[in-house]
Amino acid sequence: MNGEPAARLVARESRASRTEVVVRDVVIGGAGIVIMAGPCAVESEEQLLAVACAVKTAGASVLRGGAFKPRTSPYSFQGLREEGLALLALARERTGLPLVTEVMDARHLEAVLGCADILQVGSRNMHNYSLLEEVGRCRVPVLLKRGMSATIDEYLHAAEYVLKGGNDRVILCERGIRTFEPSTRNTLDLNAVPMLKHRTHLPVIVDPSHGTGHDWMVAPMACAAVAAGADGLLVEVHPDPVHALSDGAQALTLDGFACLVRQVAAVAAAVGRHLVPGTVSHPSLISAIT
């Protein structure tokens, strides 16, 4: 690892200022904090639209939702795939929110590009260099999740693959690393936030849903992420988490998400930032997290 050539395009010193990734009118990596929210997996039109409208109202500025789902077991729900993309396109049109969704395979790129404003490369594909090269050739922002046991160095090198391909609109996302601790699904590594901001000019967001695996941990860790300097959050929301087809234990309810937004807004203000797009009306009425 130590002998690797430097990841020069992502290095903070390579730019005069931090990179701001602009998606329609949403600026990621500026003074504002961007909340991306939605279901883990698209399950139905009803489910998706319910979540999409609710998260928009509550203050999200990007919609997330998975159509292609990488699952540990081949017998688990793999996503609605092309049908899911069509539903995402609908939700995006209805809400006006830009959309981030995962691409798992270069051969799906064309279909995904038909509706995605941001291409997500998931944790399991952070080391899939063929896919990184492919999204590097696209002209669409890329949300690149940290591999589950990727060092900061390896993560930056993975981003370098995308920039080297010609696409410098990369958003980094800490989503929990693998450690010995069994009480959480992963160990959300917030140290990565100041470390990445120190080493690269790219925006850094945090996924407290996958990072912890417990709905009741999402809000405190989201607040912590923003306090640590994160530029945004990626949060899973479901109208009925108990019956979610994937990852229900970590999904917030619609109300839970609205509550998280208020808490995060208060913390953002405390560190001199604000939520994008600033639609949250009364961030002052915040009760303590605990």
Interface with its own copies in residues 248-287 (CB under 8 A): 263, 266-267, 269-273, 286-287
- Looking only at residues 10 through 69 of this chain, which bind its own copies when binding is defined by CB under 8 A? none
What span, in angstroms and rounded, lies between the C-alpha atoms of 233 and 185?
A: 18
Burial 194-226 (b: 16+ CB within 10 A, else e): ebbbebbbbbbbbbbbbbbbebebbbebbbbbb
CB of 221 to its own copies, least distance (A): 6
By beta-carbon proximity to its own copies, the closer residue of 91 and 103 is 103
Count of residues making up the chain? 290
Q: Please give the DSSP secondary-structure letter assigned to residue 182.
A: -
Q: How far is the CB of 250 from its own copies (least distance, A)?
A: 12
One of 193, 205, 234, 260 touching its own copies (CB under 8 A): 193
CA gap 101, 168 in Å, rounded = 18
Report residue 245 as tokens.
Answer: 């087809």
Closest CB to its own copies among residues 96, 194:
194
164 binds its own copies, rule: CB under 8 A:
yes
Q: Which of 88, 104, 171, 280 binds its own copies (CB under 8 A)?
A: 104
What's the first-to-final CA gap in the chain, in angstroms? Answer: 41
Among 72, 110, 242, 282, binds its own copies (CB under 8 A): 72
How far, in Å, CA of 153 to CA of 75, rounded?
A: 34
Q: Which stretch binds its own copies (CB under 8 A): 4-12, 55-63, 89-97, 166-174?
A: 4-12
CB 88 to its own copies: min, Å? 19
Q: Per-residue string for binding with its own copies, 229-248, x by CB under 8 A?
A: x-------------------
> Based on CB atoms, which residue is closest to its own copies, 129 or 279?
129
Question: Is 287 in a helix, a strand, or coil?
Answer: coil
Nearest Cα to Cα of residue 28 among 135, 242, 152, 172: 172
Task: Measure the CA–CA gap between 274 and 212, rounded to whole angstroms.
Answer: 24
In the bound complex, what is the minimum distance in angstroms from residue 52's beta carbon to its own copies?
27
For residues 52 and 206, which CB has a smaller minimum distance to its own copies in the complex? Answer: 206
